[in-house]
């Protein structure tokens, strides 16, 4: 018979309490709230499917859903692809000290508010901004970058790229160098070494990096609003719109639950893929 | 021995003096009465120093503002607070009836306010009165029309809402992200003036939706207060629907080439009014503040409010701003006979008070706005 050990259980208690108070509790409240009704700008507890029916039968909800899903997926792919050469260089071509400094430099952007960085991008991307001035000097443009899907994408990458580089760098740095040398000794080309040794060995970190990029950009409000011009609105903007008009927090809860369910599905699928053993 | 005694005395003297110096501010503070706190629920800017500092100093009061963003937000904040939380509520006029119906505001004593000074058109503002009972007092208002970049569009071109479809503006027309002023302007463009662009039949509403959707290729984005400012200022948006001088007036002061006009089809008026929160115990000082804001001095302040300018509903307010800042009076049309004078425009039937939809459900307008944004 397995003996119950008190020691590890006690150490788990803070985590369980934290998760219960700040994740499970609010989540359950939000699920309950999605069945409530708003009367005279006050939420009334109820068990009514009106909010679900209303939101899920509206074309604009699904338009916003697919736009959000597409943009988050694109950001995850682009961030992973853009980050990989940098992470590779940091992991394999820098000394440990230089790598530490590089990681520090990647953390520094987080010292500044994300909103402030987005406002800086507004200036840079404007038609009268410095980037278009440079393009103009080279005989191109001006290009419309602000208030567009491109602008939103720049914002998403501002948010996620440093994090993806850090996660990828940690993952690549922990690869056993003997495996790479063995591949070379066995005559593998650099491309084969990369695709058949390095990427599979760093798979977990690479996927986790992409998942973080997806999660952060899927729920982001700032980039699509301030750089994308709400054109078209994403789910986070839809939540704001729904609460602004008529104080429909229960309907906003429906949108939020759909977002959480999507994130759970994507995260579990990705983690499953990351840890799946090769047959 | 005597030296020692002297040293001790000196030390005591120094300690006593230091103690006295340190406690003097406390004594001063204790002598002065604590300022009376006035809790104000308002749009941003109405309890900032440029508006209230002089009144605070003269009356030993302290305004504690809670700022909201939109009438729905305001109603929700009151609904979620105990009675008496807010002493003074600044509300958009179309929400006064809802405040009253929900029992959030107290009846006001009309004899306390200078209604004789009001232009007749504003003395009996719709929704502020039920019979002889007064529930809210108008303090300022503003007009919403066509706001545009004057380097790109001439004033003559901007004198119709059709300007938004001008090929010069493709991808550069912004919307202030609120359905009421935008859809009201579309209703005006289609000639829905009688009785109001917010009181339209189902057929007219269908036509408004169709016309609005046709603007979609011109649209560059949907913006909040800050986004509207920066969009117009950096030239990213060359025209903006749903706003007026309350935005462009601030930008003009910064030298931006922007302006607002009330087009031929008419404009929409937003109206800001003070109500007294139910359950307050500070009637005297709140009434005194409302009187102050309706005085020529208060009207000059509110016309030039730093957060966003407004227009005065009182004759004495117009005279005061003409004397205090003739350029501002000219710019905002607060001169009788001026071609953009709000009273003249109102008399000509070109101004309509912003309202909630009368023949459709508010949710229908809101739903359409969401559909339009994703179209």
Which of B45-49, B99-103, B367-371 is most confident?
B45-49
Domain extent, residue B166, equals 142-268+352-374
Q: To the nearest whole angstrom, how far is the Cα of A210 from the nearest Cα of chain B?
A: 27
Q: Is B36 exposed, middle or buried (0-12, 13-18, 19+ CB in 10 A)?
A: middle
Decide if B122 contacts B225 (C-beta within 8 A).
Answer: no
Work out how many CB contacts closer than 8 A connect A with B.
89
Nearest CA-CA partner of B320 in B339, B294, B348, B287? B294
Domain identity same for B222 and B359 = yes
The pLDDT of B48-59, averaged and rounded, is: 97
CB pair distance less than 8 Å for B366 and A42 = no
Q: Is A41 on the interface with B (CB under 8 A)?
A: yes
The pair of structure tokens assigned to A140 is 């191109």
The pLDDT of B214-222, averaged and rounded, is: 96
Angstrom distance (rounded) from CA A62 to CA A144: 27
Residue B27, pLDDT > 50, answer no
Q: Which long-range contacts (CB under 8 A, 24 or more apart) does A49-56 make?
A: A51/A248, A51/A250, A51/A251, A51/A253, A51/A254, A52/A254, A54/A251, A55/A251, A55/A254, A55/A255, A56/A254
Domain identity same for B163 and B62 = no
Residue B43 lies in a domain: yes
Residue B368 lies in a domain: yes
Residue B5, pLDDT > 50, answer no
Indicate the pLDDT class of residue B2, thresholds 50, 70 and 90: very low
Residue B31 lies in a domain: no
Among positive and negative, which fits the CA dihedral B122, B127, B129, B135?
negative
The pLDDT of B343-372, averaged and rounded, is: 91
Domain identity same for B152 and B191 = yes
The domain tally of chain B equals 2
Counting residues of chain B whose pLDDT is more than 70, the rounded percentage is: 91
> In the prediction, which pLDDT does B15 show?
59
The pLDDT of B235-263, averaged and rounded, is: 94
Phi-psi region of B235 (alpha: psi -120 to 50; beta: other; left: phi over 0): left
Decide if A233 contacts B369 (C-beta within 8 A).
Answer: no
Domain identity same for B364 and B219 = yes
> In the prediction, which pLDDT does B32 show?
60
Contacts of B222 in chain A (CB under 8 A): 229-231, 233
> In the prediction, which pLDDT does B366 show?
87
CB pair distance less than 8 Å for B222 and A230 = yes
Domain identity same for B187 and B262 = yes
Residue A244 lies in a domain: yes
Which tens digits make up the pLDDT trace of B286-311? 999 999 999 999 999 999 999 999 99
Q: To the nearest whole angstrom, how far is the Cα of A242 from the nearest Cα of chain B?
A: 9
The pair of structure tokens assigned to A227 is 């750089």
Contacts of B221 in chain A (CB under 8 A): 147, 228-231
Domain identity same for B250 and B154 = yes
Backbone angles phi, psi at B261, to 5 degrees: -135, 160
| CATH number of residue A104's parent domain | 1.10.3720.10
Nearest CA-CA partner of B178 in B324, B306, B331, B69? B69
Which are the contacts of A64, defined by CB distance < 8 A and separation ≥ 6?
A232, A233, A234, A235, A237, A238, B374
Domain identity same for B254 and B366 = yes
Domain identity same for B153 and B132 = no
Angstrom distance (rounded) from CA A238 to CA B38: 35
Domain identity same for B245 and B287 = no
Q: To the nearest whole angstrom, how far is the Cα of B249 from the nearest Cα of chain A?
A: 22
> In the prediction, which pLDDT does B140 show?
97
The pLDDT of B335-341, averaged and rounded, is: 91
Domain identity same for B273 and B315 = yes
Angstrom distance (rounded) from CA A140 to CA A160: 29
| CATH number of residue B207's parent domain | 3.40.190.10
Angstrom distance (rounded) from CA A182 to CA A178: 6
Angstrom distance (rounded) from CA B370 to CA B375: 9
The domain tally of chain A equals 1
Q: To the nearest whole angstrom, how far is the Cα of A67 from the nearest Cα of chain B?
A: 9
* Beta strand B173-176 pairing with B219-223: parallel
The pLDDT of B233-251, averaged and rounded, is: 94
H or E element at residue A54: helix A50-56
Angstrom distance (rounded) from CA B193 to CA B54: 42
Angstrom distance (rounded) from CA B48 to CA B94: 24
Report ipTM for this prediction: 0.78
The tens place of each residue's pLDDT in chain A, 279 residues long, gives 566 688 888 888 999 999 999 999 999 999 999 999 987 777 889 999 999 999 999 999 999 999 999 999 999 999 999 999 999 999 999 998 999 999 999 999 889 999 999 999 999 999 889 999 999 999 987 899 999 999 999 999 999 999 999 999 999 999 999 999 999 999 999 999 999 999 999 999 999 999 999 999 999 999 999 999 998 999 999 999 888 777 789 999 999 999 999 999 999 999 999 888 765
Domain identity same for B251 and B290 = no
Indicate the pLDDT class of residue B278, thresholds 50, 70 and 90: very high
Angstrom distance (rounded) from CA B296 to CA B321: 8
CB pair distance less than 8 Å for B235 and A60 = no
Domain identity same for B62 and B101 = yes
Cis amide bond preceding B70, omega within 30: no
> In the prediction, which pLDDT does A278 show?
61
The pLDDT of B43-52, averaged and rounded, is: 96
pLDDT greater at residue B27 or residue A229: A229
Radius of gyration of chain B (CA): 25
List residues bridging with B17 in a β-sheet: none
Domain extent, residue A172, equals 49-275
Residue B30, pLDDT > 60, answer no
Residue B11 lies in a domain: no
Which are the contacts of A39, defined by CB distance < 8 A and separation ≥ 6?
none
Residue B10, pLDDT > 60, answer no
Which tens digits make up the pLDDT trace of B129-152? 999 999 999 999 999 999 999 999
Core vs surface per residue A165-181: b (16+ CB within 10 A) or e: bbbbbbbbbebeeeebe
State the residue for tokens 């004198």. Answer: B159
Residue A179 lies in a domain: yes
Q: Is A232 on the interface with B (CB under 8 A)?
A: yes
Q: Is B222 on the interface with A (CB under 8 A)?
A: yes
Residue B7 lies in a domain: no
């Amino acid at each position: 018979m397995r003996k119950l050990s008190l020691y590890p259980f006690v150490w788990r208690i803070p985590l369980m309490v934290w998760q219960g108070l700040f994740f499970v509790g609010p989540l359950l409240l939000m699920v309950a709230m999605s069945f409530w009704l708003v009367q005279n700008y006050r939420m009334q507890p109820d068990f009514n499917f009106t909010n679900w029916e209303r939101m899920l039968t509206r074309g604009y909800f699904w338009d916003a859903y697919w736009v959000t899903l597409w943009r988050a997926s694109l950001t995850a792919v682009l961030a992973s692809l853009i980050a990989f050469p940098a992470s590779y260089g940091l992991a394999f071509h820098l000394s440990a000290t230089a790598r530490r400094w590089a990681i520090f430099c990647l953390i520094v952007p987080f010292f500044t508010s994300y909103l402030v960085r987005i406002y800086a991008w507004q200036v840079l991307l404007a038609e009268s901004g410095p980037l278009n001035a440079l393009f103009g000097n080279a005989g191109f443009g001006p290009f419309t970058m602000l208030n567009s899907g491109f602008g939103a994408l720049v914002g998403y990458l501002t948010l996620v790229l440093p994090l993806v580089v850090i996660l990828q760098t940690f993952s690549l740095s922990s690869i056993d160098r003997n495996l790479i040398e063995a591949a070379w000794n066995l005559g593998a080309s650099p491309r084969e070494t990369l695709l058949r040794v390095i990427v599979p060995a760093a798979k977990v970190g690479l996927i986790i990096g992409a998942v973080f990029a997806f999660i952060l950009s899927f729920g982001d409000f700032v980039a699509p609003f301030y750089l994308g011009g709400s054109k078209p609105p994403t789910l986070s903007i839809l939540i704001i719109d729904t609460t602004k008009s008529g104080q429909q927090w229960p309907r906003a809860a429906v949108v939020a639950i759909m977002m959480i369910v999507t994130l759970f599905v994507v995260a579990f699928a990705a983690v499953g893929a990351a840890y799946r053993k090769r047959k | 021995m005597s030296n020692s005694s002297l040293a001790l005395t000196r030390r005591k003297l120094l300690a006593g003096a230091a103690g006295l110096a340190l406690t003097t501010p406390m004594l001063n503070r204790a002598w002065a009465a604590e300022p009376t706190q006035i809790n104000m629920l308002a749009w941003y800017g109405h309890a900032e120093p440029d508006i209230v500092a002089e009144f605070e100093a003269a009356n030993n009061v302290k305004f504690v503002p809670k700022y909201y963003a939109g009438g729905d937000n305001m109603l929700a904040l009151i609904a979620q607070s105990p009675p008496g939380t807010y002493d003074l509520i600044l509300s958009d006029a179309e929400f006064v009836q809802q405040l009253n119906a929900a029992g959030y505001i107290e009846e006001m004593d009309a004899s306390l306010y200078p209604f004789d000074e009001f232009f007749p058109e504003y003395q009996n503002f719709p929704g502020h009165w039920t019979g002889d009972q007064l529930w809210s007092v108008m303090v300022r208002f503003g007009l919403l029309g066509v706001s545009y970049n004057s380097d790109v569009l001439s004033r003559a071109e901007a004198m119709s809402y059709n300007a938004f479809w001008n090929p010069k503006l493709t991808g550069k027309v912004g919307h202030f992200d609120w359905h009421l002023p935008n859809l009201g302007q579309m209703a005006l463009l289609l000639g829905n003036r009688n009785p109001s662009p917010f009181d339209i039949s189902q057929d007219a509403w269908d036509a408004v939706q169709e016309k609005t959707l046709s603007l979609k290729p011109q649209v560059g984005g949907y913006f909040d207060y800050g986004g509207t400012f920066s969009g117009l200022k950096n030239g990213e948006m060359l025209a903006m629907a749903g706003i007026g001088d309350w935005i462009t007036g601030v930008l003009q002061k910064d030298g931006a080439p922007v302006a607002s006009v009330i087009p031929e089809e008419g404009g929409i008026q937003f109206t800001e009014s003070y109500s007294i929160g139910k359950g307050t115990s500070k009637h005297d000082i709140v009434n005194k503040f409302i009187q102050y804001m309706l005085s020529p001095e208060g009207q000059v302040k509110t016309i030039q409010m730093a957060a966003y300018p407004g227009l005065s509903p009182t004759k004495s307010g117009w005279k005061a701003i003409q004397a205090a800042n003739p350029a501002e009076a000219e710019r905002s049309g607060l001169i009788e006979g001026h071609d953009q004078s709000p009273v003249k425009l109102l008399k000509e039937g070109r101004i309509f008070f912003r309202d909630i939809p009368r023949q459709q459900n508010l949710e229908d307008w809101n739903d359409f706005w969401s559909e339009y944004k994703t179209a």
